[in-house]
């Protein structure tokens, strides 16, 4: 279904710019979030290590009537983060919304997990969220308004074979609460979303690794979820849409589990 996109022009003089940055936006949850924010009237910068994926997703938004650019960056590299955020400000305007979505998995049991497996996951999830938030908050504080949403996971509660990923996702929850405490006086909120099972290329790869067909994998997961279905990327995008809205201005420092049932 074709969506109607809201104008990105600011109707109110001196109001905050409607510019959003989404990391890991080349596909899956990140791409869905970027589409939804464009529908909500934001100009969106889609950042991904995969430049082709980011550009293709941005082009799809532009073709549908939105405003978007796709940019390549390694968000675990401080110099690249400063460069890409400056590029966003130059091309679209100062960003006031940041969605820390980029993530990777390097799953293994603890006794098999290498230092590289640990460091890579920490680098993208925690270092990346820190560097991006530090760079973007400058623009938010200047405008007196901002929204930071970081993607945690139900794995933050502990998950076998994911010591690195679980730790990183739990760390993002503490990071979020600290940002909320520090930045609230500048009109900036910070919240985290902890998805449950979401049907993406990442979960499809897990099914393949386990030797299961993806449909069977999803069906088995759905039986354990109270709403009896797995999540879709759009489920997360809808939640982001609320958290970055003006109507969510009194919601900050929260972790929202979007998992089809109660978690923490």
Q: Which residue has the tokens 């760390």?
A: 171
Q: In the numeric block, which tokens belong to residue 259?
A: 């998992």
CB of 117 closer than 8 Å to CB of 164: yes
The string of DSSP letters for 195-240 reads E-SB-SHHHHHHHHHTT--HHHHHHHHHTTSTTSS-B-HHHHHHHH
CA atoms of 259 and 30, how far apart (whole Å)? 17
Choose, from 165, 175, 217, 257, the residue flagged as catalytic: 165
Neighbouring residues of 12: CB distance < 8 A, sequence distance ≥ 6: none
CB of 38 closer than 8 Å to CB of 44: yes
The question of whether 257 is a catalytic residue gets the answer no
Determine how many CB atoms are found less than 10 A away from the CB of residue 15.
11
Catalytic residues, by residue number, are 165
């Amino acid at each position: 279904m074709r969506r109607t996109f809201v104008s990105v022009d600011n109707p109110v003089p001196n109001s905050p710019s409607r510019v959003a940055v989404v990391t890991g936006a080349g596909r899956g949850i990140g791409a869905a979030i970027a589409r939804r924010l464009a529908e909500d009237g934001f100009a969106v910068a889609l950042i991904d290590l995969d430049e082709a994926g980011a550009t293709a997703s941005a082009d799809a938004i532009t073709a549908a009537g939105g405003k978007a650019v796709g940019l390549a960056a390694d968000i675990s590299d401080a110099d690249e983060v400063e460069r890409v955020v400056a590029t966003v400000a130059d091309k679209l305007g100062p960003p006031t919304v940041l969605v820390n979505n980029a993530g990777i998995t390097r799953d293994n049991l603890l006794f098999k997990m290498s230092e590289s497996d640990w460091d890579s996951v920490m680098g993208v999830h925690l270092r990346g969220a820190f560097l991006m938030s530090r760079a973007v908050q400058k623009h938010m504080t200047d405008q007196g308004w901002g929204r930071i949403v970081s993607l945690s996971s139900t794995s933050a509660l502990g998950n076998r074979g994911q010591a690195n990923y679980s730790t990183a996702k739990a760390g993002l929850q503490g990071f979020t609460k600290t940002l909320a405490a520090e930045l609230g006086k500048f009109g900036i909120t910070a919240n985290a979303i902890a998805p449950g099972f979401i049907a993406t290329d990442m979960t499809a790869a897990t099914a393949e690794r386990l030797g299961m067909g993806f449909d069977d994998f999803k069906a088995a997961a759905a039986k354990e979820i109270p709403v009896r279905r797995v999540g879709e990327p759009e489920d997360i995008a809808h939640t982001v849409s609320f958290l970055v809205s003006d109507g969510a201005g009194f919601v900050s420092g929260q972790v929202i589990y979007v998992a089809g049932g109660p978690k923490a």
